[in-house]
Amino acid sequence: MTTEIKLAKANDSRYVFILRKKNYNQKSFIKKNQVSFINHNIWFKKAIKDYLHNIYIISFKKRKCGYARLEKVKKNYEVSILIDKKFRQKGIASRALILIEKTLKFNSEVIAKVNKNNLESIGMFSNLGYKVTSTNSKTYVMKKKLNKIKIIDQIEKIRRRNNASWMDILRLAYKKSPKECGLLMSEIYKDDTRISKLVKKMIR
């Protein structure tokens, strides 16, 4: 996987500070004030110890390229993400956000507050299913509810791996004993047919 996330550690504080400072853009950032490294470091060390607050370091091909913040507010989560300018237009933010969403409970609501001038972020969140639920003169509030479709997606991935394993077993069995393998697969097919008929009765 080319995009990875990991929980930040204390020694990531300077990286996050420099990244914010280097990529600071008054048109995109909601908060305009810049803080000193001392104040940032105090906040950062508290945040990574707070069970309601996760900071993720994002890597692309093993190189640090950004960070994301996830803060639990009541039953929901607020998320923000920043990718270094030289790593943008690669889909990294989208993939990182998907990885973060997978860490959350089903039926959680994820909220992103986005500057109206930050068209890139607005497009990214929209493509991932976030909807604008409120707005003011400067900011869109975009929300997404993680529903049970996520469970189906996970089942699909597991089944995909499981099916690949079955095919490997079938190849091995056929090489060792083609006739017995064919008979066994025939019995499996009959059982699958019976299951299919039973499912049809359920939906009548």
pTM beyond 0.75: the answer is: no
Domains of the chain and any CATH numbers = 3-147 (3.40.630.30), 150-202 (no CATH)
Mind listing the pLDDT tens digit for each residue in 102-147? 888 877 899 999 999 888 899 999 999 899 999 998 899 999 988 7
User: What integer pLDDT is reported at residue 99 of this predicted model?
Assistant: 92
pLDDT greater than 60 at residue 56: yes
User: What integer pLDDT is reported at residue 3 of this predicted model?
Assistant: 94
Please list the residues that pair with 4 across neighbouring strands.
Answer: 59
User: What integer pLDDT is reported at residue 174 of this predicted model?
Assistant: 78
Mind listing the pLDDT tens digit for each residue in 145-187? 887 555 556 556 666 766 776 777 778 787 888 888 778 777 7
